Amino acid sequence: MSKWKIYTPEGVQDILFDECYLKRNLEEKIRNLFRSCGYYEVETPTIEFYDTFSVDDGLVPQETMFKFFDQQGRILVLRPDITVPVARITATKFKEMPYPLRYSYIGNVFRYNDYGGGKQNEFTQAGIETLGISTPESDAEVIAIAIRALQAAGLENFQIDIGQVEFFKGLMEETELAEEDIGQIRSMIDRKDFVGLQEFLRSNEIREDLKKLILDLPGLFGSTDVIDRVKTLTSNRRSLEALENVRQVLEILEDYGLSQYVSVDLGMLKGLNYDTGILFRGFTYGVGFPILTGGRYDRLVESFGRECPATGFSLGINLIMMALQRQKVAIEKPSVDSLICYAGVGRKTAFELCGVLRKQGLVVEMDISSAGVDAVKEYARKKGIGGVLYVSGQDTIEIHDLHTQEVKKTSVRELLEGGSI
Amino acid sequence: MRYLTIALSKGRLTDLTMDLLEGIGVDCTEYKNASRKLIFTDEKNKIKFFLCKPADVPTYVEYGAADIGIVGKDTLLEEGRHLYEVLNLGFAACRMVLAGPAELAGKLDQLNNKRVATKYPRIAREYFEHKRRESIEVIKLNGSVELAPLVGLSEVIVDLVESGRTLKENGLVVLDTIAEISARMVVNRVSMKMESERINRMIEGLKKQLEVVGT
């Protein structure tokens, strides 16, 4: 009956002291960045209707969602992302607000067997969405903020790859292949499955020059000169416009001074159907999964009943924590500056002293064990607290420095006026 | 420079892979010294490599514990991991097939409930769901799959076939080819980006090496 009570389900984790401290700090830094860029934060429900995420065929594969029922028998899900709820909000609320609408969010999402959280079923996403604007400037802003967020988190070595899904769509138009075949090609290119692609193209009738370009697609990544090289290889208008779009975004990013972080990957095609333009992924050492993904999705809000272009990104906080740890970036840890204990008569003084020190910004623990100063010192030493203040009388304090083992006697007034412990 | 880590399949692919790696200048002496080490290092090229069960290679590579893996296409299809498949190494070639008793040839559709015995449940399921568009009952076995239709455990099997002799001797025939199988080089999605120069150089080296062997 209670067989599972001491375990946690697969894919979820307890986040304990040090990690939680790091996580909150990261979230705070990222939240401050989003705020400073004018992105207002929203919180969407953890539970949504299944229908919200299945508006478009294959928007979120149903087998990746946690499902249950409400009292009327309707299907509910734990939100698998926050981009879709933001699209729902935009289509149904904020009708009077001028464009662009700028959203930010930090929250947990839930997915079975997805690599977005590094194989965890519950993970924290932080992201922004810009709605109502379709300029290259808006794409560039989102990418720039993504880069700033990684920097704010403390990462230095990372790379953002930028692709453009319209380039691929243009080529596919020309091949006149069936929808299903295009889906297959898309996933093979995204997997850089050169081998499968070759076999597939051999068995299909496609113009020679087009065939060659499609075969090259998985390899079309690297520095920005990829664009100039590809430009000469196709005359498809949609594809050329896509290339021009990437070039513009890169130019803007150059003025942001962020060129060194970005490169081009025209063979990057996410599985999602709602991508309509620029898309990008972020990578760093030590984590085998992309730490952030983003892009333009001009058709998504429309599926909720309002036409509205959109772009945004989300990053995985848990993956960034993993990267920081693996890259041995110095990480802040929680710590207690001093611990106050007291003899009976010193209690009131101890509380007053504690209040003053905390107000000064120190982290102070009060002794609640009443086990005596020696036991308290032992506890403090194990916990790595630097000093113990023993209030032995109404106005007498012993300062026990646990590093030097020195004991100094002083009074409350002296201590507070001296300002140093 | 960081180490590049390569996961290699233990078994029939090992020696051929080692020859290939040596061909592009990787120092495999540590491996050849047959020590009890689990991880071998080539300090000059900053490469580490290790051997593991073939089915585990895609896992190591997907998580980024290994940057590169050498593994059979059958394992890749069965594991269905998120990784980049960049090169067909050509060796260890065989076919993944649907096979069954000769009398079933051309009459497969008349069989209502199909029981499929296989070591590759995922491949079997995907083949039937996507290509034949039907549901099946998969019976997972761990070896001698040809036995299943003979003793009535299943109607058909999905298995690897090299020469087809085992099938023939047991009165079974190939009903359809599901995929051509051979050894592949796979790369972690992040490594491909962060170490693209070194990995691409390695791919080019291997390609040349394969051309030499091929001629």
Task: Work out the average pLDDT over A157-167.
Answer: 92
pLDDT for the residue B137: 93
String of b and e for B43-55 (b: at least 16 CB within 10 Å)? eebebbbbbbebe
CB A264 within 8 Å of CB A246: yes
Query: Cα distance from B191 to chain A (closest Cα, Å)?
Result: 7
User: Which residue of chain A comes nearest to B88, CA vs CA?
Assistant: A195
Query: B85 and A159 in contact by Cβ < 8 A?
Result: no
String of b and e for A353-388 (b: at least 16 CB within 10 Å)? bbeebeeeeeebbebeeeeebeebbebbeeeebbbb
Measured between alpha carbons, how far is A202 from A284 in angstroms, rounded to an integer?
36
Per the model's pLDDT, the better-predicted residue between B73 and A270 turns out to be: B73
Residue A112, number of CB atoms within 10 A of its CB: 13
Measured between alpha carbons, how far is B133 from B156 in angstroms, rounded to an integer?
16
Measured between alpha carbons, how far is A223 from B117 in angstroms, rounded to an integer?
49
Three-state SS at A280: strand
DSSP labels for B119-152? S-HHHHHHIIIIIS----EEEE-SS-TTHHHHTT
Measured between alpha carbons, how far is A278 from A364 in angstroms, rounded to an integer?
50
Residue A136, number of CB atoms within 10 A of its CB: 20
pLDDT in tens, chain B (215 residues): 789 999 999 988 888 888 888 988 888 888 888 767 889 999 999 999 999 999 999 999 988 899 999 999 999 999 888 888 888 898 889 999 999 999 888 888 888 888 999 999 999 998 998 888 888 999 999 999 999 999 999 999 999 999 889 899 999 999 999 999 999 999 998 898 888 889 999 999 999 988 876 64
* SS3 of chain B: helix, strand, coil, percent, to 5: 40, 30, 35
Residue B56, number of CB atoms within 10 A of its CB: 18
Vertex A94 angle, CA A90 and A95, to 5° = 95
Rounded to 5 degrees, φ, ψ at B108 are -60, -35
Between B64, B88, B196, which is nearest A288 by CB?
Answer: B64
Contact status of B204 with chain A (Cβ, < 8 Å): no
- Which residues neighbour A283 within 8 Å (Cβ) at sequence distance 6 or greater? A158, A159, A160, A161, A290, A291, B189, B190, B193, B194
**Helix locations, chain B, DSSP H:** 14-23, 29-32, 57-63, 73-79, 121-126, 147-150, 165-169, 189-194, 196-214
Query: A285 and B180 in contact by Cβ < 8 A?
Result: no
pLDDT for the residue B83: 87
Beta bridge partners of B101: B172
Q: How confident is the model at residue A109 (pLDDT cuts 50, 70, 90)?
A: very high
Between B82, B187, B190, which is nearest A287 by CB?
Answer: B190
Gyration radius from chain B CA atoms = 20
Task: Work out the average pLDDT over A317-325.
Answer: 93
User: Which residue of chain A comes nearest to B90, CA vs CA?
Assistant: A195
Per the model's pLDDT, the better-predicted residue between A188 and A356 turns out to be: A356
Residue A224, number of CB atoms within 10 A of its CB: 17
pTM confidence score: 0.85
pLDDT for the residue A118: 67
Between B65, B180, B193, which is nearest A283 by CB?
Answer: B193
Output the six-digit token pair for A113: 């067997």
Query: A290 and B62 in contact by Cβ < 8 A?
Result: no
- Inform me whether the pLDDT recorded for A188 exceeds 80: yes
Residues of chain B contacting residue A196, judged by C-beta atoms under 8 Å apart? 85
Measured between alpha carbons, how far is B178 from B137 in angstroms, rounded to an integer?
18
Measured between alpha carbons, how far is B22 from B70 in angstroms, rounded to an integer?
14
Of B64, B30, B63, B11, residue with least CA distance to B183: B11
Percent of chain A with pLDDT over 70: 96
Query: A194 and B194 in contact by Cβ < 8 A?
Result: no
CB B71 within 8 Å of CB B9: yes
- Inform me whether the pLDDT recorded for A292 exceeds 90: yes
pLDDT for the residue B215: 47
- Inform me whether the pLDDT recorded for A191 exceeds 80: no
Structure letter (DSSP) for residue A346: G
String of b and e for B157-170 (b: at least 16 CB within 10 Å)? bbbbbeeeeebeee
- Which residues neighbour A161 within 8 Å (Cβ) at sequence distance 6 or greater? A221, A262, A263, A264, A265, A268, A280, A281, A282, A283, B193
Residues of chain A contacting residue B57, judged by C-beta atoms under 8 Å apart? none
| A61-85: pLDDT as tens digits | 888 999 999 999 999 999 999 999 9
Output the six-digit token pair for A258: 């962020």
Q: How confident is the model at residue A358 (pLDDT cuts 50, 70, 90)?
A: very high
Residue A53, number of CB atoms within 10 A of its CB: 21
- Which residues neighbour A5 within 8 Å (Cβ) at sequence distance 6 or greater? none
Contact status of B188 with chain A (Cβ, < 8 Å): yes
Contact status of B87 with chain A (Cβ, < 8 Å): yes
CA-based max dimension of chain A = 94
Query: Cα distance from B62 to chain A (closest Cα, Å)?
Result: 6
Of A377, A381, A383, residue with least CA distance to A399: A377
- Inform me whether the pLDDT recorded for A194 exceeds 80: no
Query: A288 and B196 in contact by Cβ < 8 A?
Result: no
Between A115, A159, A218, which is nearest B193 by CB?
Answer: A159
Between B63, B184, B194, which is nearest A285 by CB?
Answer: B194
Between A195, A199, A290, which is nearest B189 by CB?
Answer: A290
- Inform me whether the pLDDT recorded for A420 exceeds 60: no
pLDDT for the residue A217: 83
A-B interface: how many C-beta pairs under 8 angstroms? 61
Task: Work out the average pLDDT over A48-55.
Answer: 90
